[in-house]
Amino acid sequence: MSTITSTRTPVPSPVQGGRPVYRVTARRVLRSEWAKLWSLRSTWITLGLGLLFLVAFGLIASWQFKSRITSGRHMDGDFASSTAVSLSLFGTNFAQLALGVLGVLVTAGEYSTGMIRSTLAAVPRRLPVLWSKSAVFGAVALVTGTVGAFIAFLFGSGIVSGTPAALSISDPGVVRSLLAAGLYLGLIGVLGTALGALLRSVAGGISVLVGSLMLVPGLISLLPSSWQDHVRPYLPSEAGASMFALHHEAHTLAPTAGLLVFLAWTGLAMAGASWRLMRTDA
């Protein structure tokens, strides 16, 4: 009598060690980053500060313009030529710091606490982690900035009603400028996450962010006058400001060109962060 031995290929069990095995998908990585973002108290505080800066400083600028017009006080040329849009978006420079700093914290904060090791162990391919963090926080910053821009304009336009700066939401270019301001702040959030992942240091990321947005434009004034008009428009802050400018001025980029330049700066930071994430250990 012969014995027939059958060999079966083992089928992987969906349960190992009493726990179900989950596949890493883009949707699950996004959900995990969303949950981590909103689990931090600093997220709520910093987003609230960014929204407050955007609205409060816009209303203060509108009120200052109205009071100087009614009292007949002297105004310098730039302030005198302001519009309801430029006055309402005056707080963008302050809101960008809050949102950019929070973007740095989203990525660099995990390196400072060591949580990045657990994150990369769960997502071994690494790059989806960076992309998901940037996408989630960029979307949150975009919504926050857009909502703040429209709130600031709706109240600010009422303050300057009856003055040379008066505009309504239906005037040409107003909606585009407000949406572009929200987009700019969303990209600032992405830039912050990229710098945090590139430098892996909260202090370093914030320093580079503040330096590139606030300090470098001032240092450009030390260059010869013939150079300034060719260099200044391509700085991140100047290119971003041209995105939501209502009127195109001399020696500034058009809104579309400003968007492309700022996207290039953001893409450069993301490329550097991606390279370091893939090439070096956590």
Of 277, 281, 280, 279, nearest to 129 (Cα)?
277
Tokens coding 123? 């997502």
Cβ neighbours for 33, distance < 8 A, ≥ 6 positions apart:
129, 132, 133, 136
Contact 91, 56 (CB under 8 A): yes
Burial 215-242 (b: 16+ CB within 10 A, else e): ebbeeeeeeeeeeeeeebbebbbbbbbb
| pLDDT greater than 90 at residue 234 | yes
What does each C-alpha distance from 26 to 63, 136, 191, 197 come to in angstroms? 47, 12, 21, 19
Q: What is the pTM of this model?
A: 0.88
By CB atoms closer than 10 A (0-12, 13-18, 19+), residue 15 is exposed
Q: How far apart are CA 217 and CA 232, in angstroms?
A: 7
Residue-wise pLDDT for 81-116, tens only, equals 889 999 999 999 999 999 999 999 999 999 988 888
pLDDT score, position 159: 93
Q: How far apart are CA 179 and CA 189, in angstroms?
A: 16
> With pLDDT > 70 as the criterion, what percentage of the chain qualifies?
90
Q: How far apart are CA 109 and CA 236, in angstroms?
A: 24
Compute the mean pLDDT over every residue in the chain, rounded to the nearest whole number: 88
Quick one: CA torsion of 163, 68, 56, 77, rounded to 10 degrees?
Answer: 80
| pLDDT greater than 60 at residue 18 | no
Residue-wise pLDDT for 245-279, tens only, equals 988 887 889 999 999 999 999 999 999 999 999 99
pLDDT score, position 19: 57
Quick one: pLDDT band at residue 11, thresholds 50, 70, 90?
very low
